[in-house]
Structure 1
Amino acid sequence: MTQTVETNVIQKTIELRAPIDKVWRALTDHEQFGEWFKVKMDAPFVPGRLATGQITYPGKEHVRWKATIKAMDEPHLFSFTWHPYAIEPEVDYSGETPTLVEFRLRPTATGTHLTLTETGFDALPPNRRPDAFRMNDRGWGIQMENIRAHVER
């Protein structure tokens, strides 16, 4: 896995030993996404709609997962916007500009090249930006390994 880090963008890439259609399903089928992302999704993903679920990651079970699905361009692009590191149930994050998360896939001779990019951290309130960036940078590293384990099993 490689990664690029700057102040506004998190980018991670990974080579997966799985065909692109399997990786696509792991990203866009709400049940499979929930398995590796550690969230019990409420319903299938639909572009233009809010997707919600309950985080199942130990210690974060109090957090609701919410994202607006932006694109499902099979099998190359899945994207959504969300409020990064929005873990305090009593805080209303709706006034913040969400970040954009994009998963880009391309087939390779041995499987699939997956690139994750999250942009828009510079639009976050200054008091939230450093923690949101740091936690998502770390979290995406974990999630890339989670999807690897999911599709390569």
Structure 2
Amino acid sequence: MVLGPGPGVGLEAAARRCAHVIGVDPSDVMLAMARRRCAPLIARGRLRLAVGTAARTGEADTSVDVVISVNNLQLWPDVPAGLAELHRVLRPGGRMLLAAHEKWLPADLPTLANTVRAAGFTSVRTWTWEPPTRMASTAALLSAVRT
């Protein structure tokens, strides 16, 4: 599942590499853009788009293998509720990757890691990455596993 895929750039890349991908976004405008960009993948049944949020994905319990969220964590109104929902929809052993510009994080990485652990995730790992251009800010990443 790609959470908050926006216009679908990363969603398209994921759907080209995976058997089935779900894109969940609260914005009808972004879903329309993703639908246009990814129309062939949708037609082949490799991609499904759905209206939803981090806290309300609309997916069934333990139905998702991987959750990816890029540059939208800062938009979640309730981070603990979003993490609880992602924990619910991930299957045991499922993985989550959160990435955002460090300056946009709702808390520092150690605090975010503790919040992820409190939601029931294990193997929580954080790191930063410096993009190879001065135009982009430091990226903060967090990976975790649902046990």
Shorter-chain TM range is under 0.3
Structure with more helix by fraction:
2
TM-score normalised by structure 1 residue count = 0.27
Which one has more relative contact order, counting CA pairs under 8 Å at least 6 apart? 1
